[in-house]
Structure 1
């Protein structure tokens, strides 16, 4: 049966009779008694509620909800009620779409939801703000049930996404770190955040180039749902991403293990290639934000490669590292978008990752994808 047929069947198997006895001094709102039937040899036989529910495999609230909808389905003489409900749903949807939302970066492997800012803690608080907003603008107010239905349809949630756990924060929470050390750790984290914000504002004004860079989690090729593939040897594919804070431009370097391995010269080659093209048209100082991974960013090979480029272009290139455990950056949003695009997709060739990345973003501009081969990488020394 379809859902509509199920509703009609339930409605035909339940009779409502007026209550025959009222309890004295009672505030009960029950106006009728429900009598439940099941068909036995094409004959309706009366049964108890428990037998009725367990035979059909439904809950009591489903029966009550469907019986309440019966009059709405059959009553076509009051279309204004349906129109009013749709108007209220549109009002609730318009309000929710206007709220700022957070990407589901830290839950991207298990959910594709969008999260409202953590300022709002509960659905009751969110609904209260919606009511105040609608009343102040003389707009129709949706009921709590309709409002939460729209919240579900738009795939939004109040659940705060999980964050990368910081070892030092966890140690302090467990009582294994002194308050003085923890306070110093938080101060360094805040200083790094402030530094990145100031450089981002300077980049937006056009005085410097501010970049964030990071390596996406390893991808495998082929990537299929077939269980037999689990035991097969697969090719490791990597994506080194650079995000321009001033222009929101993104460059994704997709490469696999046949082109190069994960060593310092690999990342130095990516940075030198990107900066060389960037500085050809707009030569000015560069600030690069990364995490403190030694093999990837915090080593003399990468620093010397950037130093030689700075001397050749007559500019200053500054490397800045975020505090360990608190290295969330704008470049992480690129990886989040790509992984959402890759969800439930079958990958047979490494080149498919590059193709899907190009389709992942439209505004303000598509991601720029580079697929280097083994000739691209330079033999740099410390």
Structure 2
């Protein structure tokens, strides 16, 4: 009986199984009441519990044996029987036959299935209401985290998810629609990967400046036009990472001081300007992968004159062997007015 009970697919079917083994009857004997309070809360019905043998015969047992056999909690049993007493409106003590239990089980099965179907339809309707409201809110993808996140962000006018839910409920009142409860609302947000606050590193100076009015519309449009080409661009290698080490306390990316990419797709690095070049100890994802990027510039791009002067000032804290690199950097001299 334990195996048969726990093989049932839903809790509704488990309730029907239990109700078919319990008969409701009037209370046969009462203890002497101690106070008026107990008199007001005295039980009007009792229950008889049965288990079935292999032959299908029902044997009356105590409640403790009943719940231990099925592995059912006592609180669950009391709650289920209370629901039965209120829903059926009759007691089943008039007959202890299997026929009455089977008829009760059939009625309960139909009632439970009807309730589950109604709840399922209602849940689907309120979920569609949430989706309709969310589709009307402007959303944007992550600005810098597209490679690691597919979250979409709503406007910052929402303080929190609870505040967002409050606005949703007001919208439902205006549209005369039934609002979903808060738990379902948050479940839909998680399923649709919709968030409110953007990550800190997601702040673009140009986009934020345009929103604040410090960046012109012309520069903002040019920035947006460059955004799409800058997206799926790939590094001239097929390394999954450029971290020099893998184990704990091994060097990490921020420890790298120089990187060198060769045409043969090999990558070298140093952890100090005075060290010799070391090949990157990372395994390639696919050795047969061919990546070719057209060379955009034939000569090295010049830097501004101010940046050149600042780099010259850094030579005072560098070794003499590295000064030549900064001396030959192409730079644009300021035009004299």
Q: TM bucket by the smaller chain?
A: 0.3 to 0.5
Bigger RCO (CA 8 Å, 6+ sep): 1
Greater radius of gyration (CA) = 2
- Please give the TM-score of this superposition, normalised by the length of structure 1: 0.36
| Larger strand proportion of the pair | 1
